[in-house]
Amino acid sequence: MSRLADLHTHTYYSDSTLSPQELIEQAHQNGLSCLAVTDHDTVEGIAPSMEAARKYGIEIITGIELSSEIHGKEVHILGYLFNREHGFLTDQLNRMQDVRIERMKTMIEKLRGLGIKNIELEEVCALTKTKSVGRPHLATILKEKGAVSDYTQAFEKFLAEGRPAYVSKFKQTPYEAIALIRQAGGLAVLAHPMLTGIDELIPSLVKAGMKGLEVYYPNVPENVIYFYEGLAKKHHLLMTGGSDAHGDIKKNTRIGRIKIPYALVEQLKEAVRA
């Protein structure tokens, strides 16, 4: 049987509800033999995932999903096969997480101003194992406290861009995110381009050293996949794919939704060696 991979997954080291053990068990049940753990702005979930994967013989490749912003749009840059102990990367990730904590304090303040006064920083931070705290955690608490009826409403009412408790993150551009991954010896890939909507910037991202496009993603129509396959070929980019599963937080995807041939992982490995 040919090997299958999922190159976009999250754990509770960022904003998934899944522990590394649960993630790996689900991967095993779904016949996956290779996984990239791509938590938001942290690499801390990788080692425990490797530990959990050992008994199933599942390969874990180094990954991350870096937040960035350009022209007011949030852009996610996936990084693969980099040195996760790289000094400058470690410093940058620490800085990004500190900014996330400060931002969370501001969002909680804003909610207080809107009459929701019973949310404490500690309980939001308790939902993740690291400092990579974000809006999904706050949405979960808003729901728990009965301030909204569900997770989606938390974004619609308060947390989405333009809503009254929204606070933007930090001003790292996608070009800087790409540079960071490159400096750490890895490959930068544009995450879910069909959701991000910055196709016009792809040529400049390629010039900046971006090496791939995440073409295979849940809930994307065939013709859109075909379009991005074409774009990847045109720019000589690697193609990746993954479920972007977040456990219970993201209801419209789960582990097993996207399984890509292992040959694409081998292409990543070849590219990073070159």
By the rule CB under 6 A, 63 interacts with ligand AMP: no
Size of the site for ligand AMP (CB under 6 A): 9
Please state the closest distance from residue 30 (CB atom) to Zn ion, in A: 20
Q: Report in angstroms how near the CB of residue 42 gets to ligand AMP at its nearest.
A: 11
Q: Is 6 in the site for Zn ion (CB under 5 A)?
A: no
Residue 76 lies near Fe ion (rule: CB under 5 A)? yes
Q: Which of 99, 160, 179, 208 binds ligand AMP (CB under 6 A)?
A: 160
Question: Residue 1 Cβ, how far from Fe ion at the closest point, in Å?
Answer: 28
- Based on CB atoms, which residue is closest to Zn ion, 133 or 178? 133
Is 244 an interacting residue with respect to Fe ion (CB under 5 A)?
yes
State yes or no: residue 214 binds Zn ion (CB under 5 A): no
Q: Shortest Cβ distance from residue 273 to Zn ion (Å)? A: 30
- Closest to ligand AMP by CB, 106 vs 204, is 106
15 binds Zn ion (CB under 5 A): yes
DSSP class per residue in the chain: ---EEEEEE--TTTT-S--HHHHHHHHHHTT--EEEE--BT--TTHHHHHHHHGGGT-EEEEEEEEEEEETTEEEEEEEES--TT-HHHHHHHHHHHHHHHHHHHHHHHHHHHTT-----HHHHHTTSSSS---HHHHHHHHHHTTSSSSHHHHIIIIISTTSTT--------HHHHHHHHHHTT-EEEE--HHHH--GGGHHHHHHTT--EEEEE-TT--HHHHHHHHHHHHHTT-EEEE---B-TTS-TT--TTS--EEHHHHHHHHHHHH-
